[in-house]
Amino acid sequence: MTHHIPEKSFQSLRVKCLISMVGTILSFFLASTPVGATIIEGVIFSPAGPLPGSTISAYSDYQSLITDTNPIQSGLGDKTGQFRIDLPPGRYYLLARGEADGVKFFSYHGVNPITVLDTFRWLPFFMIPESPAICSPDGQGISGTISYKATPLSGGVVSVYPEHDGLFRGMGLLTNTLDEKGHFRFNLDPGSYVVVARRKKTARGIGPVMQGDLFCYTSANPIKVVSDQLCEIKMECYPRDNLLSFLDDDEANPQGRKHETRRQASLWDLQPETSQQPTSQALSTISGTVTDLEGRGLANIFVTAYPSMGLNLFQMHVLRLISPAMSRTDSAGAFNIDLAQGGRYYLVARDKVGAAPDRDELYGLYEGNQNHSVTVNAGEHRKNINLTVVPIMPASGLTQRLKE
Amino acid sequence: MLIPLAKHRQCFRATGLFWLTLILLFIHPAPVLAKGKFLKSQVLRQDTTWAGDITIEGVIVVGRATTLTISPGTQVSFKKIDENHDGIGDSEIRVLGRILAEGSPEQMIRFASAENSPAPKDWSYLLLFTSGSFNRIRYCEFQHGFSGLQVQFSTATVTDSLFHNNHEGIRFGRADLDLEHNEFFQNDVAIRFTRMEGPVLINYNKIFQNRLGIFLVPSGQNITDFFEPDRSGSPWNTGRLRITNNDLTDNQWYNLNLGTKQLWDIEVSGNFWGSTVPAEIESTIFDQHRDPELGTAIIQPFAEHSIPTAGVRRITP
């Protein structure tokens, strides 16, 4: 016997079924990632290990960060101390906050602002105790001491930037080397400033913070300097991507990578802070090689593309500016710079970044034309852009003459 | 027809010589000789020698692997073009490789404006920028430039040359620079030093009738403590910058001017300042005597007479 379903009931059933399917699909998406959002996961450590209950806040700009305005908050991750945050593509300042034994901790990520595109990213945060600035009528400016694990950051470099800078890279307004006590002092006009310190593992100027380098940022930032007030800060550092160095000696390594497939994503953090943008979304690319005069490829040379900013003529002062478009040559001397937009760029290859050219440093400008510039259209890949570097400013013996 | 063996050998030798010459030419290309030329913007990628009259309209870059040699008696003239409308002529020579501009007392090399009514700033400068070589400027005459010569992150010897009717005679920042036996006059600023480093020697020069003689001013790039003097109590320029045996006279505003944030004392003994009265000498120097924030120019002991050997040597040393 065959049961017949009335046509009207059948239509009703089809509608219900459709609604159910759509609902299932929607609930799946709603329960996972908002449409167009990228998953950022990671772990938040204090020197004692993962810091449970800590959160990450993502801000659209530095001003929002310091006023705690409209942050996107993270949720809990899979394991203790882990977090997950879904962010629409864009640039964000990420700040971690937490507390343990009544002590407030924070971490300002050294690669801020972070560009979030469509690629999963894993970010570790290393927490340090919050510490306020204490101001007194003992001058005018900012002074302080900088340490890492209670040891003065001797030989580190501390820079002060105006608050509106927003990037806090390069040499800023003033840069000092730290003495053996990790102490510094800046005499400043009244204003609002951000202090950042770094110590490189290798003596390669004050360039991007690389793995193992120390990065230091105080919760007192930005610091307001007023007339006849000297603000004293105590700043602690954390190592870029060196968890074992950061943890106290008696802590086990709780590194919580979930899946083998995510290891590649986690390696984003091993890139220099200025070359964090995944290539998949880059609109334009310049690639080529850096060689010596004999045509041998040179490894580990920084190549920077400076936007021409409408200047038709090469001018030296352009090279004093900070450009996020930077790459480093591989073992064969090859480089690849991804650019957020097309345009004309001045190209420089050199040993160091962030400081003025120095004696015996390998240095070279692009010599394809008298303006040292390359024009790249949106979406275009300009290849075979080659630069030659030589050690500059050879010693003439004058130093010795002046000492006599 | 049989060719005698000797002729065969001759023919063989001649052919071999021809090919050898051809190969050598490719391995060692002969320097390009430009004699009496009009040059537009370009990068020189091959060793080049200039002689006669050279007129430049634009920017000539001397590439990293290139030496530009300028023969005695050469006249290099710069056309005034001002693409960016900043009031400064854009034409310049930018040396990344090496320049050897060595004239003689009788045949100086001249760098000047090509305009009918020449004026300071008609052209930019001869710029040595991040050069990896030893550069020599000798018996040259610079006029009508923004700066006659700029030495930035480079090594150079500049001797027996004239700098006049420029906005600035010479400007340098981080440099290894030997500046001796030159004459600076009728510039707005004769010598402008923008970085407190060195090594720089300013010796046996005549610096007169400029608005400012020597102007020491920090770079606007970044004021760091990298160049702060050691804590020994010595003037900051000890072992870095020596200014001595010069005639520094008759400059309209100041013979020596310490710029903003020149907080440290500078030792400038052994120069002739046009007077033997300390108060009169001090009146020609802008230092702590006029601005308490600045360092002091230490002039004692000063020369009591004009330095007889200062200025361009009329006989080639």
Q: Which two tokens stand for residue A307?
A: 């936007």
What's the structural domain count of chain A? 3
Alpha carbons B67 and B31: distance in angstroms, whole number: 9
Q: A219 and A195 in one domain? A: yes
Quickly state the pLDDT bin for A263 (edges 50, 70, 90). Answer: very low
Q: A366 and A349 in one domain? A: yes
Report, as an integer, the average pLDDT of B175-194: 96
- Name the DSSP letter for residue B123: B
User: How much is the pLDDT for A338?
Assistant: 82
Tell whether omega for the bond before A113 is within 30 degrees of 0, i.e. cis.
yes
CB B142 within 8 A of CB B162: yes
Report, as an integer, the average pLDDT of B155-167: 98
Could you tell me which of B72, B79, B71, B33 has the C-alpha nearest to residue B55? B79
Strands (E), A102-218: 103-108, 114-116, 121-126, 128-129, 134-136, 141-148, 151-152, 157-162, 174-177, 183-187, 191-199, 214-217
Do B63 and A367 lie within an 8 Å CB cutoff? yes
- Name the DSSP letter for residue B303: P
Alpha carbons B100 and B291: distance in angstroms, whole number: 42
Report, as an integer, the average pLDDT of A336-341: 83
Could you tell me which of A288, A291, A292 has the C-alpha nearest to residue A305? A288
Quickly state the pLDDT bin for B26 (edges 50, 70, 90). Answer: low
Range from A55-59, B176-180, B223-227 carrying the lowest mean pLDDT: B223-227
User: How much is the pLDDT for A166?
Assistant: 85
Q: Which domain holds residue A289?
A: 282-391
* Residue A400, domain member (yes or no): no
Range from A8-12, A181-185, A307-311, B102-106 carrying the lowest mean pLDDT: A8-12
Amino acid present at A305: A
Q: A154 and A120 in one domain? A: no
What's the structural domain count of chain B? 1
User: How much is the pLDDT for A192?
Assistant: 94
* Residue B115, domain member (yes or no): yes
* Residue A145, domain member (yes or no): yes
Is pLDDT at A112 greater than 50 in this prediction?
Answer: yes
Nearest-by-Cβ selection for A370 from B61, B83, B134: B61
Which of A173, A313, A353 is most worth mutating to test chain B (most B CB atoms within 10 A of its CB)?
A313
* Residue B23, domain member (yes or no): no
Residue with tokens 């300390």: B278
Residue with tokens 């046009």: B274
Strand pairing partners for B202? Answer: B179, B243
* Residue A399, domain member (yes or no): no
Q: Which two tokens stand for residue A35?
A: 């449409």
CA of B206, closest CA in chain A: separation in Å? 20
Alpha carbons A140 and A188: distance in angstroms, whole number: 6
Strand pairing partners for B77? Answer: B55, B112
Q: Which two tokens stand for residue B261?
A: 């944030």
- DSSP conformation letters of B160-211: S-EEESSSEEEEESSEEEEEES-EEES-SEEEEE-SS---EEEES-EEESSS
What's chain A's average pLDDT?
78
Q: A140 and A108 in one domain? A: no
Is pLDDT at B37 greater than 70 in this prediction?
Answer: yes
* Residue A124, domain member (yes or no): yes
- Which residues in chain B (234-253) have CB-CB distances under 8 A to chain A? 239-242
Whole-Å CA distances, A59 to A56, A66, A67:
10, 9, 10
CA of A55, closest CA in chain B: separation in Å? 37
Residues B189-236: pLDDT tens digits?
A: 999 998 777 799 999 999 999 999 999 886 554 444 434 444 456 777
Quickly state the pLDDT bin for A303 (edges 50, 70, 90). Answer: very high
Do A173 and B222 lie within an 8 Å CB cutoff? yes
| CB < 8 Å to B41, chain A | 370
Alpha carbons B45 and A386: distance in angstroms, whole number: 14
Which of A392, A400, A401, A403 is most worth mutating to test chain B (most B CB atoms within 10 A of its CB)?
A392
Tell me whether B64 touches chain A (CB under 8 Å). Answer: yes
Alpha carbons A326 and A352: distance in angstroms, whole number: 12
User: How much is the pLDDT for B98?
Assistant: 98
- More reliable by pLDDT, A161 or A155: A161
Alpha carbons A166 and A186: distance in angstroms, whole number: 19
Q: A215 and A290 in one domain? A: no
* Residue A343, domain member (yes or no): yes
Our CA angle for A317, A319, A321, nearest 5°, is: 85
Quickly state the pLDDT bin for A177 (edges 50, 70, 90). Answer: confident
Do A393 and B60 lie within an 8 Å CB cutoff? no
Do B242 and A371 lie within an 8 Å CB cutoff? no
Amino acid present at A282: A
* Residue A336, domain member (yes or no): yes
User: How much is the pLDDT for B246?
Assistant: 98
* Residue B307, domain member (yes or no): no
Alpha carbons B144 and B114: distance in angstroms, whole number: 9
User: How much is the pLDDT for B20?
Assistant: 55
Q: A138 and A125 in one domain? A: no
Q: Which two tokens stand for residue B95?
A: 């040396």
- Which residues in chain B (132-191) have CB-CB distances under 8 A to chain A? 132-134, 152-155, 157, 173-178
* Residue A19, domain member (yes or no): no
Is pLDDT at A5 greater than 50 in this prediction?
Answer: no
* Residue B244, domain member (yes or no): yes
Is pLDDT at B1 greater than 70 in this prediction?
Answer: no
Minimum CA–CA partner of A184 in chain B: B225
Alpha carbons B251 and B257: distance in angstroms, whole number: 11
Nearest-by-Cβ selection for B199 from A173, A177, A399: A399
* Residue A2, domain member (yes or no): no
Q: A294 and A244 in one domain? A: no
The residue among A81, A107, A129 that closes a domain is A129
Is pLDDT at B116 greater than 70 in this prediction?
Answer: yes
Tell me whether B91 touches chain A (CB under 8 Å). Answer: no
CATH for A172: 2.60.40.1120
Question: pTM of the predicted model, to two decimals?
Answer: 0.65
Q: Which domain holds residue B76?
A: 31-219+228-298
Report, as an integer, the average pLDDT of B162-183: 96
User: How much is the pLDDT for B164?
Assistant: 98
- More reliable by pLDDT, B309 or A32: B309
Q: A198 and A151 in one domain? A: yes
Q: Which two tokens stand for residue A1?
A: 């016997």
Is pLDDT at A13 greater than 50 in this prediction?
Answer: no
Alpha carbons B122 and B124: distance in angstroms, whole number: 7
* Residue B251, domain member (yes or no): yes
Residues A32-44: pLDDT tens digits?
A: 444 467 788 888 8
Q: A337 and A293 in one domain? A: yes
Residues B54-108: pLDDT tens digits?
A: 999 999 999 999 999 999 999 999 999 998 888 999 999 999 999 999 999 999 9
Nearest-by-Cβ selection for B132 from A171, A175, A394: A394
Tell me whether B270 touches chain A (CB under 8 Å). Answer: no
Residue B204: partners with Cβ closer than 8 Å, 6 or more residues away: B180, B181, B245, B246, B307, B309, B310, B311
Q: Which two tokens stand for residue A43?
A: 């772990």
Nearest-by-Cβ selection for A398 from B154, B176, B225: B176
CA of A161, closest CA in chain B: separation in Å? 11
